[in-house]
Amino acid sequence: MSDVMKEAMDPGAPSPVAEGIVGEALREVEGLLPPGIVLGTDPEAPLAAPEGPLDSLGIVNLVAAAEEAAAHHGSGPLGLMEALSLPLEESPFRTVGTLQAWVEAALAGKG
């Protein structure tokens, strides 16, 4: 298991940059969702179905939005495409906090 995956499984407090990247991505994806579906911003808020509101297409949109947001923040690739094949218990898409932890680890170069 890579360091990024380990970090995503044990989220700590994200940096403002990681929070900004994830927040920007969540806002972009939320704009694509049907009216009334809201993505939470709390670290415990679920993202991926069945607990969360995002199906597989929503997760792919989130990957694209997060990678784009990282580029806007001057960061390199986050490696989220590789995370799509992970089992749910290792996935950074479980909650907002696990996604923030993945982004934080990727920004720190722990891939």
For position 42, what pLDDT does the model report? 95
For position 2, what pLDDT does the model report? 52
CB atoms within 10 A of CB 57: 9
Range(s) of the domain holding residue 47: 3-107
Helix, strand, or coil here: 25? helix
For position 14, what pLDDT does the model report? 84
Our count of domains for the chain comes to 1
Provide block-wise average pLDDT over 10 residues at a time, the chain (111 residues).
Answer: 49 84 97 93 94 95 98 92 92 96 90 51
For position 13, what pLDDT does the model report? 78
For position 8, what pLDDT does the model report? 46
Prediction pTM value: 0.85
